[in-house]
A = this chain, B = another copy of it.
Amino acid sequence: MRKKLIDISWEDFQALPINDKVPYLSQADGIPYHTLFAQQFDLELLERLGTLANSIRMIAKARSGMDFLQQLISHKRAMLYFSQPSSRTFLSFYSACQILGMPIGEVRDPAISSEFKGESREDSVRTFSSYFDLIIMRSPQKGLAEHMSWVLSNTDRPIPVINAGSGHDQHPTQALLDIYTLQRSFERVGGLRDRTVVMVGDLARGRTVRSLSQLLTNYPNIRQIFVAPPVFQIGEDIQKILTAKGVDFELTSDFHSVLPESDAVYMTRIQDEWDDETHQSRTVDTSGFKFGLRELDMIKPQTVILHPLPRRDEIAREVDRDPRAMYWRQMRNGMWIRSALIALTFGCENRILEFYRANV
């Protein structure tokens, strides 16, 4: 893996539009060195990742396959720096590293780090990273992963950074697993094209839908329907992007009216942890944006139901056993797509594809 330096100042780098940052984050062949933004992934990369994740998933079914995978990157060690609680994403990345044989170190609670001694966060993260070969970081602090990418790139020991969620902002691997789940859901019926994807819930504040919506623009003829109470509708910034790209999209608060035409229904929970003093979540009636047995009767036999989890009551428990309920598989997909991303970053793609062709 060639070490890539971000050879401009932090101020200059930070001021760039995301698309102009991408080259600084990429290896010579265009695959990510640092993974910070969902926008780093175009159609070709998304398909490569999906193929790689599929291969890893199939290889892992056999003991000999697991043995192969577990020695792939066993000489490199990963640091999980999670200063924001998240067992789900943490364990998913943890498992991905284990599948690839990477020994793991972790920092989870900054209160038990030495930050209390007055050290800057930048020094802390640089310290932790200095023992490891990859840093996967989740932080409530917007832009920390980006800043650390720049900091580490300008040391004599740069290592890749993967953003595992930064505040309200980016969570690129969640977007990747959502796309991967849609790829898998339609792989035997023509692929992810010419579909209607319905996104439901707190679209204003849920970063997963915002990222997913943008990534979907890479795929041909995907109609996007956003279903939410007006106060939680998808942001105008996203609408502008969709319009600029000529995407067919629609906003509505009438959930039932769009169910019959949907090919995928992506449910999300109300993010009331971001409520301001007007407590939007309590004053808005969200009862019409839930998926139960009645809604199950309204969708097509092939339509898939997704949810980034955790859920509250957006999806009734009775729906879980329906074969169209993809959200548990979707979660497990996160482990596979993260394995694929790490393997890609560390240059293992070809070895995996060759093993797959020879053995599976």
Interface residues of A (CB under 8 A from B): 63, 66-67, 70, 74-75, 77, 79, 85-88, 91-92, 94-95, 98, 103, 105, 107-109, 111-119, 123-124, 126-128, 130-132, 154-155, 157, 269, 273, 309-312, 321, 328, 331-332, 335
Can you identify 9 A-B contacts, CB atoms within 8 angstroms? A67-B75, A91-B128, A98-B103, A109-B112, A117-B312, A118-B310, A119-B309, A124-B310, A131-B332
Q: Is the CB of B113 within 8 A of A332?
A: no
Q: Which of B112, B269, B310 contacts A87 (CB 8 A)?
A: B112
A123–B313 alpha-carbon span in the complex (Å):
12
Pair B328/A155 contact, Cβ less than 8 Å = yes
CB neighbours of A95 from chain B (8 A): 77, 105, 131-132
B123, A309: Cβ atoms under 8 Å?
yes
Out of B66, B67, B114, B328, name the residue touching A86 (CB < 8 Å): B114
Could you tell me the distance in whole angstroms from the C-beta of A88 to the nearest C-beta in chain B?
A: 5
User: Residue A116 contacts which of B66, B77, B85 (CB distance < 8 angstroms)?
Assistant: B85
Pairs of residues from A and B, 4 with the lowest C-beta to C-beta distance, nearest first = A119-B310, A66-B75, A87-B113, A95-B131
The number of times this chain is found in the oligomer is 3
Question: CB-nearest residue of chain B relative to A117?
Answer: B310
Cβ of B86 and Cβ of A131 under 8 Å apart? no
A92 and B131 form a contact (CB under 8 A): yes
What's the minimum C-beta distance from A207 to chain B, rounded to whole angstroms?
14
Known: A70-B74, A94-B105, A112-B108. A131 touches B309 (CB 8 A): no
The answer to whether B117 and A91 have CB atoms under 8 Å apart is no
Q: Chain B contacts of A321 at CB under 8 A?
A: 154
Report if A127-B331 is in contact (Cβ < 8 Å); known contacts: A85-B113, A105-B94, A310-B117.
yes
Chain B residue with the shortest CB-CB distance to A63: B75
Q: Which residues of B contact A269 (CB under 8 A)?
A: 117-118
Please report the C-alpha to C-alpha distance between residue A126 and residue B111 in the assembled complex, in whole angstroms. Answer: 27
Residues of B within 8 A of A115 (CB): 310
Most B CB atoms within 10 A — which of A63, A67, A105, A154?
Answer: A105
Do the beta carbons of A127 and B75 come within 8 Å of each other? no
CB distance from A1 to the nearest CB of B (A): 12
Chain B residues whose C-beta falls within 8 Å of the C-beta of A332 in the assembled complex? 130-131, 157
A88 near B132 with CB under 8 A, answer no
Given A85-B112, A92-B131: A273 in contact with B312 (beta carbons within 8 A): no
> Would you call B310 and A123 a contact (CB within 8 A)?
yes
